[in-house]
Homo-oligomer: A and B are copies of this chain.
Amino acid sequence: MHGHVIPINTPLPLSSPIRSRGTAGTQTGYTGRVLAKGEHLYHAGDSIAGPYMVITGALKGYNTDEDGFERVMRLYSTGDVLGFEGLARRGAVSSIVAVDTAKVWKMTEQGPVEGGPGMLGITETILMGFYRELSLSAQVLEMNRGSAQARLARFLVHYGDQQAQRGCKEQEFLLPFGRRDLAHYLGIAAETLSRAFGSLRKKHILKMNENHIVVLDPADLRRIANGNA
């Protein structure tokens, strides 16, 4: 339907910090895996080998409560890292499923190894990943605050920032997530999310066609994200 599509979502360029580790001395390696839409990377409780990095596509992390209802905990996109729980030799915290065709790399640093009396060896990369994961959980909580509009705006701002970090356009992107998943992630109903989109569109803060989103007024978007209606 669009005239011609602009390349606003690029695969991961795979630059500095990660690849540079794969040198002599450490047995770091990577194994690629492609998941079709709807395919699971692993389920909650599964024992997993180690962290994965998202190369292309998108995935969601979710948990199912006792009533069978699904709670979206995380949304992963290009460049995100997930699955650190594997290092603790315990079951995965959340289930991970591809919401779009996705390619991931397993980072096969074999997790902790014995490193002395009562000590385990672990790379600094992994440790940083843990830290990022903890910070992220704070962000996710923040998403579940304020009005529906504020939540959506906050998400879009964050997502734009991530886009920038990936070297992509900050104000224009294709959302790889469906409305239902996004709504669950934000802790609101899908219909409410739809209305929030409509409201932002009516205020000329963004325009959109399907999942192709263009932010017209970033300043206003940030203002709304901070709760100042």
Residues of A at under 8 Å CB distance from B? 21, 25-26, 28, 63, 65-67, 71, 73, 84-85, 87-88, 90, 93-94, 112, 115-124, 127-128, 130-131, 133-135, 137-138, 140-142, 144-145, 187, 226-227
Q: How many copies does the complex hold?
A: 2
Q: Once the chains are docked, how many angstroms separate the CA of A144 from the CA of B159?
A: 22
Q: Give the residue name and chain of the B residue nearest to A112 (CB).
A: B127
B26 touches A119 (CB 8 A): yes
Known: A71-B142, A137-B137, A137-B140. A119 touches B127 (CB 8 A): no
Residues of B within 8 A of A226 (CB): 65-67
Main secondary structure of the interface of A (DSSP, over half): mixed
Between A and B, 12 residue pairs with Cβ closer than 8 Å are A25-B117, A63-B138, A65-B142, A65-B226, A71-B142, A73-B138, A87-B127, A90-B131, A119-B121, A119-B123, A120-B123, A121-B122
